Structure 1
Amino acid sequence: MSATATATQPVAGEVPLAGDELVERALGVPTRAGIYRRLRTEGRPATAREVAEMFGLHPNVARTHLDTLAGAGLLVTGSRKHPGGGRPAKVYVAREQAASGSDLQVPPGSQLAVHTIVQLIAGLTEHRHKLALLAEEQGRKLVAADAGRADTRDFAAAAVIAVEALRAAFPEVRLASTDDDVVVVEGLEVGLRLVGEVDGEVGDALATGFLRGALAAAGAPATVEAKGGRVTAVLDEAGLGAQPSPTTTVDVRGDDFQRGVVATMRATVPLRPGDHLEILTDGQGAPAAFARWADRAGHQIVDVARVRDVRGKPAVRVLLRKATGR
């Protein structure tokens, strides 16, 4: 069956499922209608990759069509064991053949759960920027927890620190290549596979954020771009060491100066000498108040900037370095 089939109505001989605007919409795309006809005709389970080869499609495009048909109740999803072992493959079979004694293993309720997750991910495209910021924050935290900021002027060395820290969440991540000011990272897409299969742009945004945050925390701020499973980072003109990684953050927005300073004093106690503390405040003149206290205590104010957090809320960000003698 050609992928350019022109049917726009349910396949002849099919009895539409109850209420079936959803079925009509699913079969209203010629390629999708052709896929459904093919699966009904052959009567055997097929993977997204097999369907992609049948119709000359990218596997992700084929998977999207298959999931749409499954969401309309026209296909049933299950799993097929590999003869040589390993992870079972996800397969799709026309509804009529699902009860014919095949080797499908479909846990009760799992089809609806997967369909719901797919729909949720598909609705996140417009929030890619915010998701990237959230991922960037997590990338920073992974580096802070694992190794801290790199004391180096070598971009490749900082990238190694970033990738090693990311491995805690993405075991398959690796450095594919390094240069004086460019590194290429692969493997992040493995941990983000479900997201990437539903919406590649959302998967790329998350991969970009994780690596950008990890590099910044390792002392190497970079411009990062993700595409097709490869994430490329180019060292920013600001250079290495321009953005120290805070060990922790204290949010004193809404507090007066006195309470904000007291909360900051408490937050510095468990820090090691030389660690950085990020202070988020919102009052006029607040940086001056923190600077006076820091000067008396022997700490150093490294940077002051107006920022927005991941929720878009404005703040004045004060970056403090704890005194080395305390």
Structure 2
Amino acid sequence: MATETVGQDAAVARALAAPTRAAILDHLRAAGPRAVKEVADAVGVHANVARGHLDVLVSAGLASVSWRRNSSGGRPAKVYEATPVHVEDGTVLVSDILASLIEAAAPAPGTAKKIAEQAGERLARRIRPGEEKLAFSEQVEWLQRALAHVSGGVRVAARGDDWVELEDLDCPFKGIAASHPEIACSLDKALKEGIMRALGADTYVEQVTSIAWGDPSCRDVVRLRGKGTT
């Protein structure tokens, strides 16, 4: 089972290493089942290129194939749809963090934060192994893709030149949020900071609202460190 999971993780990492494939997967998640031409038009590539990327996503278990009836009759169209594999990946990641905390035997807050940061760094490097420098807007896009592996989906609520406010209707740490909301929120903030660090950004996260504390959604401001910040 462990070997199988590692193999799947490697296939997912390879599939998402190409920005075009990551963009195609994002489109499928947002738009639902789509034919090759629809995908190609949406991301701005030739249909044959889109078909190749879609086949890689299917092989990695990130997309599936089905057939859609044509309203005007004729042969059904082959369509591709995103699969919810990120839910399993998220469960593995959160379990890894919590297991590490248990092994550390009631760690100090700084230790718990470090463990979550390191988990975020691992996640970011797994889905984006490249080393090229990214603009802040690109780092935010990859942050959203990384968080999709541990949550139901994160949207940008507001943004500026050096900050972005994210809203999440789910909580990656809901297993401990009810009993230990302060720990859940601390881990969530550290996870985001770790992801951004691996993407080349030194940021800090300010909590605005939290599901763990009874709010309808989690809102965090991710801000670049710079002049006037601590």
TM-score by length of 2: 0.44
Q: Which has the higher helix share?
A: 2
TM-score by length of 1: 0.32
